[in-house]
């Protein structure tokens, strides 16, 4: 397949961390932090309900039943019965108490931020993030909670442009941590994280701006930061498609600082041997087909690397006269919904993942548990990389809580942050090869998936039985230099005008860009 076994000899590998029993003292009484069991299947019997891995020492089984909702309703995510509250009302965080915000003897209140209703700009991009955190909540609570405390989730719709406002509500509200967030607008307001105004642990599903990535209280399961990128998939495609990789299209999105992230991606691609011949600067809500297709053909584009909404990728592929030789999707394509929505047009699209495939013959227990609970909270939606990232964010929060409760009878937000920083060997509850979320170091390991006959199949490596079969070559991680500081500013309160890259359109002023960010045309007020 063009990649040698020697690439995997330098792997950062480890067997799945075994669940362990920790004695924890709370209010002078002993309790046991439980660990969960995986979904167990019998050839003749009924499947048992899987319970979360690496969290509880007591094995808990149950029969599948409808899980009563404990999540604060999100009007923009799912329909709600008529009204006990005003239509389209946002959840109102409970005012912060004077003692321990978000924590009581029997409850842990957590919040999340995600882009839901974006006025048509990217409505379907991160809805799965809510599903992932909600599924994690169901698994945890069914297993007895964390240290005997039930998790109560409140999800706030950032709508891309309202991230700063929603984050302020969380900081001032009755919450102990932030879990599983995904928002393209996370550059606005993220600088407050870690300050006196908002010293709350943020276990993000993923980050999308330089400011959020450098937050001192933000922890991600596989933490790719501003100066490091996963290059292994691009290196593989350069070997497999030497000509097409030299005729690449890469879209530079000018909205919400996405251009900065695309320029980081470009530096990685060039370091891997790819060459972009077409780099159109486009708005996030712009129709790509009117002006893009003629120039695409004129430039002789043969390949595409995509890091935006998968729905827009599908729309673009439907308009092309000939499909690209290869498409590498860097953002949220690895999902069942992408296959359903794309049909034949997404045949041949690649996506990379840092774990074994969802349909692996020998799936790790945690992957089966995740898929079971996703089906409980969002029937029919199937797996997705976005929801899995948010699920793992919940698991990372659990790990930090267990570490903290093993040494402290009582604790606060600041001690949770310290516990998260001390989490330097993390395997995603059995999903990942080791990462270092406490110090911001990702795993080099990856598998490359491709759509064939309407299914995601493994393109490279040839087979995966466990994490040893991922490509974990040390040269998979590329350090960035020229783009590493994009989006970072001197003052944490700097305006979006200071951080937005220069427009490629000479008729667009810096003031116009700032106004667009504050009031996107299609975003609701």
The predicted pLDDT at position 96 comes to: 42
The predicted pLDDT at position 410 comes to: 84
Element containing residue 441 per DSSP (H, E):
none
The predicted pLDDT at position 466 comes to: 52
Q: Is residue 420 within 8 Å of 203, Cβ to Cβ?
A: yes
Tell me which residue has tokens 């009878």.
409
Instruction: Out of 3.40.50.2300, 1.10.630.10, 3.50.50.60, 1.10.10.10, select the CATH number for domain 66-79+89-222+366-430.
Output: 3.40.50.2300
DSSP string over 73-131: P-TTTS--PSPSS-TTPPP-PPBPPSS-TTB-SSEEEEEEEE----TTSSTTTSHHHHH
Q: What backbone torsions phi and psi does residue 489 show, to the nearest 5 degrees?
A: -130, 165
Q: Is residue 238 within 8 Å of 267, Cβ to Cβ?
A: no
Question: What are the residue ranges spanned by the domains of the chain?
Answer: 66-79+89-222+366-430
The predicted pLDDT at position 522 comes to: 38
Closest residue by Cα to residue 387 from 143, 48, 163, 112? 112
Strands of the sheet with 349-353, listed across from one edge = 276-278, 248-250, 303-306, 326-329, 349-353, 447-452, 455-460
Q: Is the dihedral of CA 514, 517, 523, 525 positive or negative?
A: negative
Distance of CA 224 to the CA centre of its chain: 11
The predicted pLDDT at position 107 comes to: 96
The predicted pLDDT at position 100 comes to: 78
- Report the alpha-carbon distance of residue 127 to residue 107 in Å, rounded: 26
- Helix ranges (DSSP H) in 328-460: 336-342, 365-377, 385-405, 413-421
Mean pLDDT by 10 residues, the chain (525 residues): 40 34 34 34 36 32 35 36 36 49 94 90 88 97 96 96 96 97 94 96 96 97 94 97 97 85 95 96 73 89 94 92 95 93 97 89 85 96 96 98 90 95 94 94 96 95 68 95 84 40 38 35 35
Record the pTM: 0.76
The predicted pLDDT at position 504 comes to: 37
């Amino acid at each position: 397949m063009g990649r040698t076994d020697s690439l995997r000899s330098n792997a950062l590998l480890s067997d799945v961390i075994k669940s362990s029993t920790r004695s924890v003292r709370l209010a002078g009484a002993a309790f046991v932090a439980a660990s969960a069991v995986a979904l167990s299947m019998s050839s003749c019997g009924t499947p048992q309900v899987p319970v979360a891995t690496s969290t509880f020492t007591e094995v808990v089984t149950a029969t599948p039943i409808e899980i009563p909702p404990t999540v604060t309703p999100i009007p923009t995510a799912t329909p709600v019965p008529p009204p006990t509250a005003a239509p389209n009302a946002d959840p109102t965080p409970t005012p912060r108490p004077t003692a321990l915000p978000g924590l009581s003897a029997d409850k842990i209140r957590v919040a999340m931020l995600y882009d839901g209703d974006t006025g048509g700009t990217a409505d379907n991009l991160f809805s799965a993030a809510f599903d992932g955190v909600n599924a994690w909540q169901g698994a945890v609570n069914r297993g007895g909670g964390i240290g005997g405390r039930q998790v109560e989730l409140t999800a706030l719709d950032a709508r891309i442009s309202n991230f700063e406002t929603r984050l302020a509500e969380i900081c001032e509200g009755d919450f102990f941590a932030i879990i599983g967030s995904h928002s393209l607008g996370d550059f606005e307001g993220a600088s407050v994280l870690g300050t006196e105004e908002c010293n709350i642990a943020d276990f993000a599903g993923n980050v999308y701006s330089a400011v959020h990535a450098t937050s001192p209280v933000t922890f991600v399961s596989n933490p790719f930061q501003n100066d490091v990128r996963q290059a292994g998939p691009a290196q593989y495609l350069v070997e497999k498609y030497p000509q097409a990789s030299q005729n690449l299209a890469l879209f530079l999105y000018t909205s919400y600082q996405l251009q900065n992230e695309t320029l980081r991606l470009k530096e990685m691609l060039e370091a891997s041997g790819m060459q972009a011949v077409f780099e159109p600067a486009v708005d996030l809500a712009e129709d790509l087909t009117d002006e893009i297709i003629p120039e695409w053909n004129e430039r002789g584009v043969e390949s595409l690397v995509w890091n935006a909404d998968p729905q827009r990728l599908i729309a673009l592929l439907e308009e092309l006269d000939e499909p690209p030789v290869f498409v590498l999707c860097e953002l949220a394509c690895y999902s069942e919904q992408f296959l359903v929505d794309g049909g034949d047009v997404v045949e041949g699209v690649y996506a990379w993942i840092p774990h074994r495939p969802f349909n692996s013959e020998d799936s790790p227990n945690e992957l089966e548990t995740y898929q079971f609970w996703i089906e409980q909270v969002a029937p029919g939606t199937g797996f997705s990389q976005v929801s899995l990232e948010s699920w793992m964010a919940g698991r990372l929060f659990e790990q930090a809580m267990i570490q903290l409760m093993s040494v402290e009878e009582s604790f606060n937000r600041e001690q949770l942050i310290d516990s998260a920083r001390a989490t330097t060997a993390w395997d995603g509850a059995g999903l990942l090869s080791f990462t270092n979320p406490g110090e911001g170091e990702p795993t080099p390991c990856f598998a490359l998936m491709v759509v064939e006959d309407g299914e995601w199949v493994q393109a490279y490596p040839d087979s995966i039985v466990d994490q040893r079969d991922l490509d974990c070559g040390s040269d998979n991680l590329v350090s960035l230099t020229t783009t590493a500081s994009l989006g970072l500013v001197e003052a944490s309160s700097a305006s979006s005008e200071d951080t937005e890259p220069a427009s490629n359109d000479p008729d667009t002023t810096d003031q116009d860009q700032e106004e667009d960010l504050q009031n996107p045309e299609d975003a609701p007020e």
